[in-house]
């Protein structure tokens, strides 16, 4: 059930940048971790940056978000309520072949 909720919450954000077929999100509610694995970037994932490049191929091996439940309720700025780690990132970019004009 928690995995279904995580998919509904994270799905719209993930599908904007990644191709379908990734693994997860898997959730461990006791430790407060959400893990998504084996994601492949969409070719247009960097378009929002307005760069003259396009992704030819790109992968992210794993994204792990850890939610510190006690820090969510705290007003202390020292503790961060969510930590994210990204591992095994590989991106090959090439010239943008679209019709975007750059100055």
Query: Taking 90 as the threshold, does the pLDDT of residue 88 lie above it?
Result: yes
Global pTM value: 0.66
- The CA-atom distances, in angstroms, between 53 and each of 8, 31, 83, 95 are 31, 39, 30, 5
> Residue 75 — very low, low, confident or very high, per pLDDT cuts 50/70/90?
low
pLDDT tens-digit readout, 52-70: 888 999 999 998 888 776 7
pLDDT for the residue 78: 59
The Cα–Cα gap between 49 and 39 comes to 20
Q: Radius of gyration over alpha carbons of the chain, in Å?
A: 17
pLDDT: which is higher, 75 or 39: 39
């Amino acid at each position: 059930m928690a995995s279904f909720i995580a998919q509904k919450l994270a799905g719209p954000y993930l599908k904007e940048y990644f191709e379908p077929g990734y693994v997860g999100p898997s959730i461990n509610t006791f430790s407060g971790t959400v893990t998504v694995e084996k994601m492949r970037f969409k070719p247009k994932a960097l378009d929002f940056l307005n760069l003259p490049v396009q992704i030819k191929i790109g992968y992210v091996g794993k994204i792990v978000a850890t939610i510190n439940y006690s820090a969510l309720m705290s007003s202390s700025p020292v503790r961060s309520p969510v930590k994210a780690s990204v591992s095994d990132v590989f991106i090959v970019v090439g010239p943008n072949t679209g019709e975007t004009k750059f100055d």
